[in-house]
Amino acid sequence: MSKRRSKQKLPPPPSSPVVAGLVGPMRTVPTSVPRPDYAATGNPGSRTSRAIRTPDEIDAMRIAGRVAADALIEVGRHVRPGVSSDELDRIGHDFMVDAGAYPSTLNYRGFTKSLCTSVNEIVCHGIPDSRKLADGDIVNVDVTAFIEGVHGDTSATFLVGDVDEESAQLVERTRAAMHAGISVVRPNARIFEIGRAIEESVAPFGYGVVREFIGHGIGDQFHTSLQIPHYYDPHNDTVLLPGMTFTIEPMINRGSHRLEMWNDGWTVSTRDMQRSAQFEHTILVTETGFDLLTIPAEGPPAEELFADVRLGLQTTP
């Protein structure tokens, strides 16, 4: 059971609330790039899917995960004060398309962009637009690539310029919480162990763990029926088995876990306007533990490469 969250009075948020900018047109993908079932209509198929991936599917998911991981690093190299989230979307889109991948978010249930970019108090599903990143912002970039008939999904939160120490701590502790959840993955573990480990990781800091948005099964479908909550609930007792693939992607708020949805139907913010951070990997359950599938072709993943790097102030890795 997770520890009770300590009560604390939070200071005002360190920046003005995020205001939406102008959203540009949907980017195009060459017809030569294979695409998922929803690319034309926006309507994905049923979430019912096998929980266990075949060896060929796992090999394909390593490719998709690598493309997503490399795209996330490429986007991260361009994060700095003054760059718009739409420009980051262009960079990520072009990288995936050049690699022969379809950006999975593009027209998924009508989402119009190739990345999600969630700044400061935006928890998830921020739509890239004309707003420029400001000195002191934090921004989560969520990248999913579809290639070889499967999806690979990963995200990281980046520090933009001179970020205050409390926000930097939130980001690092959220990264640690993701790894706490990943560390318990093994055959015959229960899904609730993941949420318990994440909650216990952040409980000493009084942070809120988002409940409405959770990890998910992934493979030939972007989201399958397998659910991975990031909070402890003993009813989430599904047994993990070798061959399962899913995401672990905790969203951790500096204040309350409560959320608000914007009128665009996608963008989600914290209710108290405190900042939120997120990290994500796609995970494979192996015979002895786990593998990370969202690993770049060379070097460490973005969550490690950019850890505690103030982009725009320090040399970009």
Q: How far is the C-alpha of 8 from the C-alpha of 206, rounded, in Å?
A: 7
Q: What is the pTM of this model?
A: 0.94
Q: Which neighbouring-strand residues pair with 161?
A: none
Please choose, from the candidates 17, 20, 155, the residue with its C-alpha nearest in 3D space to the C-alpha of residue 75: 155
- CATH number of the domain at 55-311, please? 3.90.230.10
**Residue 2, pLDDT score:** 25
**Residue 3, pLDDT score:** 29
Beta pairing class for 276-278 and 281-285 = unpaired
Q: How far is the C-alpha of 238 from the C-alpha of 285, rounded, in Å?
A: 13
Q: How far is the C-alpha of 116 from the C-alpha of 112, rounded, in Å?
A: 10
Per-residue pLDDT of the chain (317 residues; tens, 9 = 90+): 222 333 455 666 667 899 999 999 999 999 999 999 999 999 998 766 688 999 999 999 999 999 999 999 999 999 999 999 999 999 999 999 999 999 999 999 999 999 999 999 999 999 999 999 999 999 999 999 999 999 999 999 999 999 999 999 999 999 999 999 999 999 999 999 999 999 999 999 999 999 999 999 999 999 999 999 999 999 999 999 999 999 999 999 999 999 999 999 999 999 999 999 999 999 999 999 999 999 999 999 999 999 999 999 887 88
C-alpha distances in Å from residue 120, one per residue of 29, 129, 130, 132, 156: 30, 15, 16, 13, 13
**Residue 108, pLDDT score:** 98
**Residue 13, pLDDT score:** 66
Domain ranges of the chain: 55-311
**Residue 46, pLDDT score:** 77
**Residue 314, pLDDT score:** 81
Asked if 103 and 90 count as a contact pair (C-beta separation under 8 A), the reply is no
User: Which structure tokens are listed for 9?
Assistant: 């009075």
pLDDT digits (tens, 9 = 90+) for 116-171: 999 999 999 999 999 999 999 999 999 999 999 999 999 999 999 999 999 999 99
